[in-house]
Amino acid sequence: MPITKMKGKIVLITGASVGIGAATAMAFAAEGAKLLLAARRAGKLAEVASRALEQGAAAVHSVGLDVRDRNAVQRIIDELPPEWSEIDVLVNNAGLSRGLEKLYTGRIDDWEEMIDTNIKGLLYVSRAVVPGMVERKRGHVVTLGSMAGEMVYPNGAVYCATKSAALAISDGLREDLLGTPVRVTSVDPGLVETDFSLVRFHGNADRAAKVYKGLEPLKAEDIADAILWAVTRPAHVNIARITLSTVHQANSLLIHREQ
């Protein structure tokens, strides 16, 4: 059975400058897609764009974007050049975790950043992009969730809550799109070795490294591979959800570390 081909398709990836976002850009570039890359860090985004062209992307268009800025999100989508406006795939990847403290001692600024990025940013981008997909009668929305969205772990209540919300938003969007050809997928990984922990611990590299000590975590490329697989299924097949983890992890609470 033929799969949906990506050559020439327009793929918008938020948070595309590092980690899973950058790896996803490479995966779609290798399939000849046109990449619309969005992130806050212009320098790193330019590096990803250059690598993507070398990897085989048909074209790359980069935009500086903080998904927390509702007006900026809508303006950028509205003002896309005509040749970039018909987005085929949206990868809602922008997200982060800040802090690992008990709820009653947590930093409210950390909470605000997670909620504004992981929930509100997800909503802003989806609201700006999905109407065009419905109008064109084609499209696929992929949201980066987390295993943390299905089971809360100690000291991570707010982050886990944002990922639980992301899953609910993904499920709700799929329901609201019923009767259209637009597909919706949530990709929910466990431990992935990226800058995630470095960001969580506000740049503390030693503390970040301990998260992955004694185990082989997932790589960003593993997640990108799952995203590409979901998007390239036959047009009538909707992969609603993919949960994946390293063999060293059963869920958010059970992790085996080698001595």
Spell out the residues 6+ positions from residue 185 whose beta carbon is closer than 8 angstroms to its own: 140, 141, 142, 143, 170, 227, 230, 231, 238, 239, 240, 241, 242
Yes or no: say if 26 and 228 are a contact pair by the CB < 8 Å rule: no
CB neighbours of residue 54 within 10 Å = 10
Q: Is 124 a catalytic residue?
A: no
Yes or no: say if 36 and 11 are a contact pair by the CB < 8 Å rule: yes
Candidate list 104, 153, 159, 212, residue with the active-site label: 159
Q: Name the maximum alpha-carbon separation found in the chain.
A: 56
Q: Which tokens is 210 given?
A: 């301990």
Q: In this structure, which amino acid lies at residue 114?
A: M
- Number of H helices and E strands in the chain, helices first, is 9, 7
Locate all alpha helices (DSSP H) within the chain, ordered by sequence.
Answer: 19-29, 42-55, 70-78, 108-114, 122-136, 157-176, 196-200, 205-210, 220-231
Catalytic residues: 159
